[in-house]
């Protein structure tokens, strides 16, 4: 009897041990670890949204590096073209505008300098080299792009300019601080005297990151007057080389006095092959050459609105926007 009771006790204890894990109030088994599926909102941050490729180009925000000194090229290194500097690369990230435009995250865009605007002029300026009717932004041209050893100070050479446009012309007004006006060169050599140079990329977004010249890049030279600002004025196209020569239809007015000369230009859009419109953007640069040697045609120095100007690298040119 006692033996049977003992066996019954052991059997009861054994059953309780086997069922302990399912007794209410005891800790259950841990919940399995489940890994979440990919967050497609985050994935979308890295996707590319391509829209109408004919849309107005985007406005771009530049982060510009500090200018760095680079060696200049001598005139003989660029046949018939004004000498330049080796460029640095400035990067920017595109931003969307009100108009639907092609965008891509993390796209590197290359353009340099302080960007400029040309305002639409309802009334064409009177080309008399006086700025009284110009109600547009004035931009400096003060970076020494060539001949730093010959450049003395801002009184020797420095400039500023304004831009405007209508359906027929691109208008440019230039003021130059120059203690001595000397211009005895003509044609393709006019940069070897006091003169103005305009760089213009007519297909900015077609070859935005190209660091070499192409047929849509223009280099225009302007002489305010041979022998003096009252002398014969001239516009000359150096590049594209297939179109080089004197510029037909360009209008030039100039005056000087007290170490300053002023120039107003009207460049026909037909020269650039452009039908202008509000919001269009182009590559642009303006430079001023100086010669104080009356006995020799030579380019002694050049200042520019481009801090790291290189004629042969359009990515060192700035960006021009037409506004209306």
The Cα 129–Cα 161 span in angstroms is 12
In 10 A of CB 267, how many CB atoms?
Answer: 24
Q: Residue 300 is encoded by which pair of tokens?
A: 């002694």
**Direct distance between the N- and C-terminal alpha carbons of the chain, in angstroms, rounded to an integer:** 114
Give the C-alpha distances (Å, rounded to integers) separating 298 from 75, 150, 187, 232, 303.
Answer: 9, 12, 14, 19, 15
Q: Residue 238 is encoded by which pair of tokens?
A: 């150096």
Using the predicted structure, report yes or no on whether residue 95 has a pLDDT greater than 80. Answer: no
Q: Residue 98 is encoded by which pair of tokens?
A: 């009100």
Would you say 139 and 162 are in contact if contact means Cβ atoms under 8 Å apart? yes
pLDDT, tens only, 127-144: 998 888 898 999 999 999
pLDDT, tens only, 22-69: 443 433 333 333 333 333 222 222 222 333 333 333 343 333 333 333
Q: Residue 301 is encoded by which pair of tokens?
A: 């120095």
In 3D space, the residue among 202, 210, 197, 166 whose CA is nearest the CA of residue 282 turns out to be 202
Range ranked top by mean pLDDT from 83-97, 112-126, 179-193: 179-193
- Which phi-psi region, left, alpha or beta, contains residue 88 (left: φ > 0; alpha: ψ -120 to 50)? beta
- Split at pLDDT 50, 70, 90, the class of 311 is very high
In 3D space, the residue among 292, 305, 323 whose CA is nearest the CA of residue 175 turns out to be 305
CA dihedral of 204, 207, 212, 215, whole degrees rounded to 10? -70
Kindly provide the residue ranges of all beta strands, DSSP E only, lying in 122-279, ordered along the sequence.
139-141, 143-146, 158-165, 169-177, 195-201, 217-223, 234-239, 245-246, 251-257, 260-268
Average pLDDT, the chain: 76
**Domain 114-323 classification at class level:** mainly beta
Predicted TM-score (pTM) of the model is: 0.68
The Cα 76–Cα 312 span in angstroms is 14
Would you say 302 and 198 are in contact if contact means Cβ atoms under 8 Å apart? no
Q: Using the 8-state DSSP alphabet, how is residue 8 labeled?
A: H
Q: Residue 322 is encoded by which pair of tokens?
A: 């037409």
């Amino acid at each position: 009897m006692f033996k049977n009771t003992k066996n019954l006790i052991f059997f009861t204890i054994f059953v309780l041990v086997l069922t302990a894990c399912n007794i209410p109030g005891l800790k259950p088994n841990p919940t399995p670890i489940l890994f979440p599926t990919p967050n497609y909102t985050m994935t979308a941050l890295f996707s590319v949204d391509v829209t109408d490729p004919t849309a107005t180009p985007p406005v771009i925000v530049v982060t510009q590096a500090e200018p760095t000194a680079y060696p200049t090229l001598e005139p003989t290194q660029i046949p018939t073209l004004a000498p330049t500097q080796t460029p640095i690369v400035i990067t920017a990230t595109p931003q969307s505008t009100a108009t639907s435009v092609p965008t891509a995250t993390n796209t590197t865009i290359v353009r340099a300098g302080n960007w400029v605007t040309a305002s639409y002029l309802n009334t064409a300026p009177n080309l008399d080299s006086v700025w009284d009717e110009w109600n547009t932004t004035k931009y400096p041209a003060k970076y020494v792009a060539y001949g730093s050893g010959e450049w003395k100070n801002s009184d020797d050479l420095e400039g500023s300019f304004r831009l405007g446009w209508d359906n027929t012309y691109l208008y440019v007004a230039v003021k130059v601080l120059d203690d001595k006006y000397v211009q005895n060169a003509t044609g393709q050599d006019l940069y070897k005297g006091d003169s103005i140079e305009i760089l213009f990329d007519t297909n900015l977004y077609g070859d935005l990151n190209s660091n070499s010249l192409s047929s849509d890049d223009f280099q225009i030279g302007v002489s305010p007057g041979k022998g003096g600002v009252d002398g014969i004025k001239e516009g000359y196209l150096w590049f594209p080389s297939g179109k080089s020569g004197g510029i037909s239809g360009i209008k030039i007015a100039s005056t000087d006095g007290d170490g300053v000369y002023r120039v107003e230009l009207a460049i026909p859009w037909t020269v650039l092959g452009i039908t202008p419109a509000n919001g269009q953007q182009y590559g642009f640069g303006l430079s001023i050459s100086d010669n104080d040697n009356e006995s020799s045609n030579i380019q002694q120095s050049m200042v520019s609105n481009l801090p790291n100007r290189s004629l042969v690298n359009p990515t060192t040119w700035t960006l021009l926007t037409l506004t209306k």
